[in-house]
Amino acid sequence: MAEADEYDEIFAALKHPVRRQILLFLEERGEASFTQIQDAVGIEDTGLMSYHLKELAPLVEQSERGKYRLSEVGQAGVALFQRVERERRGTRVTVRREIDKWLGETIVKGVLLALLLGFTLGVPATVDILLSVQSFTGVSLFQLTGMFLVSFFGMVFGVVLFSVYYRHFHSKDGRANIKYTTIFAATITIASSLAFYQMYLFSAGSLTGSGIPWQFGVLRAVGFMASAPVVAYVISKAGRRR
């Protein structure tokens, strides 16, 4: 039989799941009777079973005792099928691992980003709440300066963490880092400014105390936004030197 014809026979046999079952059964058992093959593949119709065995020629041959076994071509077909199945399983495992890896990284990145947002927003919000409460009894310039520095540098530290986070998980490109760090800072500035405005209105509406000076929120927002691209640029520069 020509090599091309052998491959045609093999591929034609391997297309049908019942014939693959027969070949694998014979490969495992070595030899089997007609009835044993029927039981193994679950076909009760004798005519249908005979048809499948006929279609498997010359992959399956009969021994002198009348039992069926794999021919040399059949052994080659089973070997080919098993190799394809191993590669297919390997591919599925690889794809599954990649998906699991991607999901794991996505969850980690999402959690870290949420923590960064919470921290960078939480610091100024906490300071603003304390400042609004303390404004009822009056706030000294020293206290105001201390609270401003705590909230400002807390926000800047959040930007530092975000810039490192973006560089590690997304891109080491300096321009992209500056761009997205600035977007992150703008988001924080808008959210923290809205929160500050509510605290400002709350303290301004009190009958006692001097309230929170509006310059506190404006200076912090402007300084924070100005520092964000500088922070990202410095971190990108430091990363390139390593």
At 136-145, the pLDDT tens digits run 777 788 888 9
Tens digits of residue pLDDT in 56-105: 877 888 888 889 998 888 888 788 778 877 787 777 777 788 887 888 88
pLDDT at residue number 242: 59
Q: Report the percent of the chain where pLDDT is more than 70.
A: 90
Helix (H) or strand (E) holding 215: helix 214-241
pLDDT at residue number 207: 46
d(CA 211, CA 85): 74
**Residue 68 and residue 53 in contact, taking contact as beta carbons nearer than 8 Å:** yes
Span 164-170, average pLDDT? 90
Its pTM stands at 0.61
Of the candidates 123, 115, 147, the one whose C-alpha atom is nearest the C-alpha of residue 213 is 147
Structure letter (DSSP) for residue 41: H
Secondary structure of residue 26 in the 3-state scheme: helix
d(CA 61, CA 22): 12
Mean pLDDT across the chain: 85
CATH architecture of 3-70: Orthogonal Bundle (1.10)
Of the candidates 195, 184, 178, 191, the one whose C-alpha atom is nearest the C-alpha of residue 237 is 178
**Residue 144 and residue 210 in contact, taking contact as beta carbons nearer than 8 Å:** no
Q: Which string of DSSP letters, residue by residue, matches 112-175?
A: HHHHHHHHHHHHHHHHHHHHHHHTTT---HHHHHHHHHHHHHHHHHHHHHHHHHHHHHT---HH
**Residue 75 and residue 27 in contact, taking contact as beta carbons nearer than 8 Å:** yes
Q: What are phi and psi of 5, to 5 degrees?
A: -65, -40
Q: What tokens appear for 162 in the block?
A: 């975000």
Residue-range domain boundaries for the chain: 3-70, 99-241
